Amino acid sequence: MTYQRFTEKYKRTFFVPSPKRKRKMPLLEFTSKGIYCAAADVYLDPWKKVSKALITHGHSDHARWGHQQYITHHDNVPIIRHRLGKIVVTGKAYGESFTINGVRFSFHPAGHVPGSSQIRVEHRGEIWVFTGDYKLDNDGISTPFEAVRCHSFITECTFGLPVFDWQAPERVHHEINTWWATNQTQGLTSLLMGYSLGKAQRLLKHLDPNIGKIFTHGATEKMTDVLRSQIDFPETHLIHRDTEKKEITGQLVLAPPAVMGSAWIKKLGKLSTGYASGWMAFRGARRRRAVDKAFVLSDHADWKGLLQAIEATGCENVITTHGYTDIFAQYLREKGWNARTEKTQYEAETPETVLTE
């Protein structure tokens, strides 16, 4: 027997590897498909096709097409059906807990857009919360944000810089109505732009119908129509091929930001353009959008809001997913939290991408 063969045999005979220590898996992991709960075999807002997906809200980077089964809040069911077509979806109420393979799940208000939720996950005494997107201000159309106690908090931080400090939304809505009334006296039509899911309805809800008529772009009208069964809105008039300029002069037109620079905008006549977004807090973003009037109004928490939300959870661990993740996590570590960043495919809107949806 050669020395080599002897050592091989010796190894096989006497070398017994110690049993592999099972490393405790975290309750939620970040995988190539999305945020995964292995114990329940479900994903939260996955970005690749999976068999079972829990969905926080209807924006396209969180509710994607192709999953075999969707579970979400009742109010989000018509929204994702409208956006994704024929899907298998189950609706849940806020606070209603349900169990998958022994793991307890429940949806809680995120205050971001109608039907938006945070997802609470509990297993063997450990509690995690995934926020999706959220804001603390009451927008008048979404169930207001509720803090949920947890050990680990997975948070967005789209506006996770101290420069983002929102003023009271009522002031912004007042500003918008004043702008519309002033344009009207000058014979101008007011074109107000905001995302077609969430922002557009929030704007609509607070427009003053005593000033004039409210017209809509098709994309805005369709989404608003989906939400009319849940929310009371002022009357709107869809702009169609035969709509004449003189009908809309002095009135207000609600449209998605993508209309800027399009042929559609030309048929509106003499305009004053307004754009509502958190990014309008940046002067550079205002200039690039080339709008006449910028309204700083966001469906995401500002710096103080993010910190307030985190504190209210009583959590020890924070994972930042999209936005100013590294700066925000660094700040949290300095303040004593165990904070880190994980890569996801949630597209934090940026000053460059706000025109698309």
- Tokens 């008039």 found at: 237
Distance CA 356, CA 237 (A): 24
Rounded to a whole number of angstroms, the minimum distance from the CB of residue 183 to Zn ion is 30
Q: In the numeric block, which tokens belong to residue 242?
A: 């035969």
String of contacts with Zn ion for each residue 251-270, x by CB under 5 A:
--------------------
Tell me whether residue 113 or residue 252 sits nearer to Zn ion (CB atom): 113
**Residue 157 identity:** C
Segment near Zn ion (CB under 5 A); pick from 52-60, 150-158, 315-323, 343-351: 52-60
The 3-class secondary structure across 115-152, one letter per residue, is: CCEEEEEEECCEEEEECCCCCCCCCCCCCCCCCCCCCE
Rounded to whole angstroms, how far apart are CA atoms 67 and 48?
8
> Tokens standing for 54?
């829990």
The two structure tokens encoding residue 211:
């000033």
Question: What is the smallest separation between the CB atom of 316 and Zn ion, expressed in angstroms?
Answer: 26
121: closest CA among 93, 151, 91?
151
In the complex with Zn ion, the residue whose CB is nearer, 132 or 250, is 132
Taking CB under 5 A as the criterion, the residue among 133, 137, 221, 349 binding Zn ion is: 133
Structure tokens belonging to residue 198? 């969430």
* Beta carbon of residue 170, minimum distance to Zn ion (angstroms, whole number): 23
Q: Does 139 bind Zn ion (CB under 5 A)?
A: no
> Taking contact as CB under 5 A, which single stretch among the options 127-135, 158-166, 274-282, 283-291 is the one that binds Zn ion?
127-135
Among the listed residues 40, 59, 268, 325, the single contact to Zn ion using CB under 5 A: 59
Q: Of 9-17, 75-83, 121-129, 132-140, which part binds Zn ion (CB under 5 A)?
A: 132-140
Residues that bind Zn ion in the complex, under the rule CB under 5 A: 59, 133
